[in-house]
Amino acid sequence: MTASSNHTYRFIRFFIIVAGIAVGLMLLPQTGKAQTGITYPIVDTGQSACYDDTGAEITCPAEGEAFYGQDTQFADTPADYTDNGDGTVTDNVTGLMWQQTPPPTRYNWSDAADYCTSLTLGGYTDWRLPNAKALFSISDFSSGWPYLNTTYFDLSGQDVSKDEQYWSSNYYLAAATPAMSDTAFGVNHGTGHIKAYPAQEIGGPGLKTVRCVRGDDYAVNDFVDNGDGTITDDATGLMWLQDDSGEGLDWENALAYADSFSFAGYDDWRVPNVKELQSIIDYSGAYPAIDPTYFNITDEDSYFWSSTSAYFSPVNPGYYYGWYVAFGYAVDADGNDTHGAGAVRFDTKVEGGPAGEDPERIYNYVRLVRDADGGTVTPPQWDYHIYLPLVISQ
């Protein structure tokens, strides 16, 4: 082979290998989201319509119009489940695996935890009682009653009722009164609420149902103080305002407040949906139920609006409310803590609106959120220095 032919041969081999590497890179699966480090993805609520403050369904408004900024107007991560055909359901967003059918027996809190740790299902023995955030992640707000996707998850009873109360692993550690001192949080997948229930009752209505879970830890926040009045949760990919609105607003004005808000160089702030807002609750015993290292709160005894509307019940199908999170105590008409700091409830959106079950709290605070800037996708690191000298030396 002549020197000229050898040079041409080396060049052709070099071109073929480099081209092959380029094609291989293009064929690799796109895993950008996973590589951003998000470990606590928020599953979308499923709400798909817009409502005014009386409960009437409306055409979703544009920016600057009344009631702009509702839950359904911001795209999130839709729920994605797989029925494994063995009594388990996998949540493809969170990676958690769930018990599909709750047991026929109801339990107090301690016995529910024991039931899960002793459960063998689908060939797995590492089941546990879910924490409140994991349990709330499967809540479905597309219609309500039940607040659960019954295509994949079975109810505990034949009919939807207020008794679809499921234990979480979160014992209530911020109780204000003896009556609340031995309670634990549960999620009601009939009514959609989160509240604290008596934990150790022997029988009767105090016993609740259970849906066990397995998989990696979920709902662990990773807050970063950006030093500019904003807090980023690297676990969820959400950026929060460190301060709240400083005053209570009705639901329409809460949405308008976000629509016109600009801060720290961003003008895409919004009222969080109910799952986003619940994601920053601190169930560790803090009062208010939010991490004071990162967040400021104007009123300790405060409720915060979400952008998610609430279906009341089949008895009153026209009544739509607004979901809120009680970072302070969720109280009764006498001001007693009855649901727990960290409860998730709903209330009428405007003065004169349909009355709810609890004392009206129409003028609630707002803590705005936005999607944090996404991370840069890092392509696989090929060892080019291994290949190129081999080609050139041929």
> pTM of this prediction?
0.85
238-241 and 230-233 as β-strands: parallel, antiparallel, unpaired? antiparallel
In order, the DSSP letters of 213-231 are EESS------EEE-SSSEE
Task: List pLDDT tens digits, range 214-229.
Answer: 999 999 999 999 999 9
Domain 81-214, what fold?
Mannose-Binding Protein A; Chain A (3.10.100)
The pLDDT tens digits for 294-320 are 999 999 988 999 999 997 776 666 667
Average pLDDT of the residues in 27-47: 68
Q: Give the range with max mean pLDDT: 254-258, 332-336, 345-349, 374-378.
A: 254-258
Tell me which residue of 120, 130, 126 sits closest to 91, measured CA to CA: 130
pLDDT, residue 35, reads: 37
Greatest Cα pair distance, the chain, in angstroms, is 99
* Residues 76-104: tens digit of each pLDDT: 899 999 999 999 999 999 999 999 999 99
Residues 6 or more apart whose CB falls under 8 angstroms from that of 332 comprise 338, 358, 359
pLDDT at position 378 = 29
> Cis omega before residue 130 (within 30°)?
no
Give the contacts of 340 (CB within 8 A, at least 6 positions apart).
172, 174, 175, 180, 183, 185, 195, 196, 326, 329, 330
By the 8 A CB rule, do 271 and 279 touch?
no
What are the domain boundaries of the chain?
3-28+379-392, 81-214
Using CB atoms within 10 A of its CB, is residue 217 exposed (0-12), middle (13-18) or buried (19+)? Answer: exposed
Q: How confident is the model at residue 29 (pLDDT cuts 50, 70, 90)?
A: very low
pLDDT digits (tens, 9 = 90+) for 167-207: 999 999 999 888 899 999 999 999 999 999 999 988 888 89
Higher pLDDT, 337 or 29: 337
Contacts of 359 (CB under 8 A, 6+ apart): 331, 332, 333
d(Cα 281, Cα 233) in Å, to the nearest integer? 13
Cβ proximity of 258 and 249 under 8 Å: no
- Cβ neighbours around 33 below 10 Å, total: 14
Please state, rounded to an integer, the average pLDDT across all residues of the chain. 86
